[in-house]
Amino acid sequence: MSLSYIFKNLYYKLENNQFLYCLIIVIITLDVLQFFIEKVKIAIILLSIQEFEELDWLERYFSSQ
């Protein structure tokens, strides 16, 4: 069973507008998920940078004593 066969069956079972709406909703959902994944990646990078800065501050504090 190929992917085109599945889409053709969906297309004929649903009306044209419903099929297009479903397709648009899937595309928008994937786009929103990709946006949030990118934001999570940026947040993880910023948190790791902040942790390294804190470790650097502790290292300087103990080396000065």
Q: Are 57 and 49 in contact (CB under 8 A)?
A: no
The domain total for the chain is 1
Domain enclosing residue 24, as ranges: 3-64
For residues 25 and 31, what is the distance between their CA atoms, to the nearest angstrom? 10
* Percent residues over pLDDT 70 in the chain: 78
Contact 34, 25 (CB under 8 A): no
Cβ neighbours, 10 Å, residue 51: 10
Taking only the tens place, the pLDDT of each residue in 1-15 is 576 777 777 767 666
pLDDT at 65: 67
The confidence score (pLDDT) of residue 38 equals 92
pTM: 0.49
